Amino acid sequence: MNLPSVIKEFVKTKNSFDSFAFAECFSETAVVFDEGKTHTGKKEIEQWIDNSNKQHQDTLEPIDYDKKEDILSAKVTGTFPQSPIVLKFHFIITDGKIRNLKVTE
């Protein structure tokens, strides 16, 4: 699957549980919307993913990428009740960084 480099890095850092490197995929003012909550800026995004890593130990397995819409479908497996589940990651990428991410089912 041919993914943009920032999305490859997003998956790699998520699966290695490296919260700092994960947050580096995002712009300084990026916004993430996941599970009904909004996280704004790199520091909040790093805290969000660090908490998620500790609670769910979840990993991503890309299964499809819509290049036109910048939507990654991935199987998410971890220590949460619905595991595994396929989620959609809706990206807005600017200058090689994630500016906006919305996670949906």
Q: Per DSSP, what are the bridge partners of residue 72?
A: 65, 89
Share of the chain above pLDDT 90, in %: 99
What is the rounded distance in angstroms from the CA atom of residue 12 to the CA atom of residue 60? Answer: 9
What is the predicted pLDDT for the residue at 4? 96
Residue 33's pLDDT band (cuts 50, 70, 90): very high
Identify the domain containing residue 50 by its residue range: 5-104
Share of the chain above pLDDT 70, in %: 100
State how many domains the chain has: 1
Q: Is the confidence at residue 54, as pLDDT, over 90? A: yes
What is the predicted pLDDT for the residue at 1? 87
In three-state secondary structure terms, 71 is: strand
Residue 103's pLDDT band (cuts 50, 70, 90): very high
